[in-house]
Structure 1
Amino acid sequence: MFFIDALIILSAILSSLWVLLQAFYFTRKEITCKHHEKGNSSVSIIVAIKDEEPSVIKELIENLSSLNYENYEVIIISDDKEERFRELSTLSRPPNFKLVRRDLPRGRKAGALNYGVSLAKGDILVFLDAEARVDPDFLVGVSHHLARSPALSLRLRVRDPKNKLQRLYSGITEFSMNSLFRGRYLKGLPVFPNGSAFAIRSKVLRDVGGWKEGIVAEDLEIGIRLYMEGVDVEYVDDVIVETLAPYSWKDLFIQLKRWAYGSGQLLPYSLQMAKKGLRGIEGAIYANQWGVYPVFLVVLLIAGLLSPLFFSSVYTWIGSLSLFLISTLVFSVRSNTKEYDIRIPTLMISAFIIGYISGLMKTGFNWKVTPKKEVSEDETWIPLEVNLVSFIFLGSGLIAMQYEFLQGCILLIISLILLVIP
């Protein structure tokens, strides 16, 4: 039936287009700034924490204590239980550091950030995660750039990658910074902040209403809102925040699923950007990229399930699949991947499908901190959700084989590929 064929083709174009756009955005041309002039604006660094190891917070305090900047404060907002907070309270910290606990932790991370903002005295607000580490001149660079911009998206870099997964994650992060942040910024496209490395003028944040509480992807939401309010976020290459990569495949799966959930949750809101023309349409695609990546495979899955009712051409399947694979190959070549592991894309596809659909349906979401220390990794681990997705593709393939043999074989191959995840 023409409708099913058209749906398959359109979904293949959408998924492939976003993959190709990332390859097109990628640039090695750094955005350089010869000299940072130290500003005199007061700065408040705000960090929201929950279930973090005391050693992580101790290292954070030590790192932020050595900043080469006079007028700054650090506010750490804890949503921990009383026992953990009492343990954290014993950590030594300078007078300009505040460690406070919310008795009623409402509004998820955004609620904690808003609480920190209510305590902040700085003209500049900097938001970091607990594992963030910066160099001594970090605030000099932030204040320099914020003298001319209302908000900054700072460069993320993975520090000390140990195992293969962390090296792969580090490479993905570098490509993302060079493509989705630097590349898009140089082409005049809207830049969305990363909650792990974000700075904004206090007045600007308060003018747009602060953080949206209860949202899983609070950084994506505020990025959309800043764009809709006409506030341009500048991306800077020369102010770097070092972070950690997940230690295990399980931790990576949970993190990817959280990103996708937050994107799906914001779909109706993010589509409003399309009102602002081509830049807005591209921004809407960016905001929903976790749903865009797997949409082609999801449509194939649906086509297989509906094969008893609706016919789809084998040529449509082969042509669309060829387009998707070619775009993936171009992306791989452009990203200059030095290490590769088939488990990365299959893990992403499964996490994105599950997370994005869950976000669309607004199912319950339990936030879990990504571990900041090495753990024993179970190489045989397979997430239950991936098993479920794989079996759905298997069922779709078995149904399709009775009516459209080749299409069914394609779905069975996808089902088997999904099971290569550890």
Structure 2
Amino acid sequence: MKVGVIGAGYVGLTSAVCLAERGHDTVCVDVDDVRVQRLSAGIAHLDEPDLPDLLGGGLRAGTLRFSTDYATLADRDVVFICVSTPSGPDGSADLRAVDIAAAALAEVLSPGAVVAVKSTVPVGTTRRISERLRDSGVHTVSNPEFLRESHAIHDFRHPDRILFGADDEEVADRVAGLYPPAPVLRTSPESAEVAKYASNAFLAVKISYTNSLARLCAAVGADIGDVTDCMGADPRIGPHFLAPGPGWGGSCLPKDTAALLHSGAAHGVELPEVESARRSNAGQADRIVDALNRTLAVPLHAAQVTALGLTFKAGTSDVRDSPALTVCAELTRRGAQVTGFDPRLAGIDPAALSRSAIVTVDDPYLAAKEADAIIVLTEWPQFCDLDWRLIAEQAPGAAVIDTRNLLDAAALTDLGLNHLGNGTPGGY
């Protein structure tokens, strides 16, 4: 099939290279001319496993090309809208890019083509686009994405479910034929749009609940790992998203929970569980910094603090809404001197680091030298392999706030470091 993709961000570029890998003639359109030129030269701007190889393979095979011109989509059978829908000041999803894409497609697509809305959009958006395109003879379906950063290629190749919200099953079948075999869920467009937001919001609630339990465990001498092992063994709950940490962030959960609350308010429906999860998440930085302040042998405003991990999760260089940077910003606001290290430091947006007012170095041992405290903020497995004996010699007696419970607490204690786990006995 001839396929089009609008937007070369995480969702769009991943979808484009994977569709091309499956042999579909794929054109990806993006408004950024420099980005299009670099992608056409085989240079990927995203830090995603396997993406560079698929990009180069699609270009060489002739199944993938990039353009800034919507006219290149005129002969497409299916076009995916994969543009950004960032949060507005009131939490609502900014749909300007979606509307621009829909208007352009109305001008160029042939009758019978299908527009699949993959961008995360509020309920009613697909229906509105459908009405706009109906006079052009173009069909519309909702097809939300469920790709995880740092696992996006794998998730496209091995989807656990594919969701279509459509009034016409034959139209949905045409889009489904583009994907690898997987369970297909068919709903109305409205149900599909709500389901996407509901899925992400539930994950946010689950993480926030775990962090609240971690706080309780530390207060009563329980261990959050034991508690979540028991919870996760229950098939009604499952083991995923039960790990405590510095909070949730990234490009999806913050904006999607805000948009879901905004949609609920617009229809007179409160979602107090989601509101509570967002409040709990907003308080995680204070919780971590307060624990550090109670532990330090020096005043916080005189402390040298090392931040290990700056991205919002391991396996990516993405720092959008990173809880690690939120903690760093709170530390610097209270006067601490923060030196940060991340394994993907070279790929991190320097403007985001500048806003956090931290110093960054590309050597973890240099970052930890003479530190009063070391905070593990991202779950990079490389941190377990550091020479902690050397770190203990360079920063004797330092407090180690292990927000991810990644390290061997007993080993660090034996080295003279003051280890505080998240939700562990003697921790925070």
**What TM-score do you get using the length of structure 2 for normalisation?**
0.28
Q: Which has the higher contact order (CA 8 A, sep 6+)?
A: 1
Judging by fraction of residues, say which structure has more helix: 1
